[in-house]
Amino acid sequence: KMASALAAGCPVIIKPPERAPHGSAVLAEAADAVGLDPGVVQLVHGGPPVAQTMMHDDRVRAVSFTGGIGGGRAVAHACAEGLKPAQLELGGHSPMVVMPDADLDEAAGGVAALLTTLNGQWCRALGRLLVPAEQHDELLDKVSAVLGHLVVGNSLDPGSQMGPIVHSAHLAWLRSRIAELEGLGGIAHAWSALPEGDGNWLAPTLVTGVDPSHTETEIFGPVATVHAYDSVDHALELANATPYGLEAYVYSTDEDAAMAFARQVRAGGVKVNGASPISLHLMAPRPAWGISGLHDEGTRETIRFFMGSRVVGVEAPMSFDS
């Protein structure tokens, strides 16, 4: 977002999340190190009151926000008062549909990647795993084999494959969500060993046995529910049964059939046989449908958002000659 705003010729104010401020600080230091004029990139720390102050300031002409649904609604309301454009990339609750002909080893690897990327705390993480009923147990066994060898530890350790949850309060909230699903009849499956001692550690967890009607909201952590389906039409119904529409994933050995299915999923992006949506193409847009956001993101799209549109011209003289 910062790069796109700068490319559009705009100065930038970055308000990083309170629980993860350090990466943004490094960006601001890098901007200073390359000699950008003072004020071109500014960094402001703080919570919601600081953000509200910034968004209501007339000097702020546009706001691009990544975060949760609640924060997105607050940004949208604040920008609406000043009729400022707001680009919102919000929550996701991504389904992964394992087609009946899928390679289950590849699908299991995708499940592990979607649960552990950014320690499971990303908007495009796995939310619901949809698998043919007859392959349910076999796929779980394969996922357990992958996650059973996962190395959980310090994120700065090159040997670590997954780090801690960002904050103890969020860890407590994730545990409460797992307990809630267990209270609805779910069985939580976790196979990864955790480091000894204190720390915000949570093993990637799949929860089986919960009715899909109780699993329609984002968890935002390394936790997903598993649902068996009886037919491809049933899988599509389950995939489209939430108000989100950010990302979805389809695994199949029949690429044409997978693409045909993917086109019916209500999501801004659908990745076939992969778990990295951004790897499709550098210039691929990242749309968000439903409550997952407003205004497409992407290299071109975000630059255009910060530029706005303009028409400048000279009207040609009119001639009434016959």
d(CA 220, CA 104): 25
d(CA 298, CA 3): 11
Annotated catalytic residue 216: no
Of the candidates 10, 29, 79, 89, the residue annotated as catalytic is: 89
Within 10 angstroms of residue 216's Cβ, the number of other Cβ atoms is 14
Q: Return the structure tokens found at 77.
A: 């309301």
Q: Which residues contact 76 (CB under 8 A, 6 or more apart)?
A: 86, 88, 294
Where are the extended beta strands (E) located within 15-151? 41-43, 63-66, 86-89, 94-98, 126-132
CA 21 to chain centre: 18
Q: Are 85 and 122 in contact (CB under 8 A)?
A: no
Residue 87 pairs with which residues in a beta bridge?
64
Across the beta sheet with 269-272, the strand order is: 187-190, 205-208, 223-229, 126-132, 94-98, 247-251, 269-272
Annotated catalytic residue 138: no
Q: Are 275 and 114 in contact (CB under 8 A)?
A: yes
230-244 per-residue burial string, b: 16 or more CB within 10 A, e: under 16: eeeeebbebbebbeb
Of the candidates 79, 123, 247, 297, the residue annotated as catalytic is: 123
Active-site residue set:
89, 123
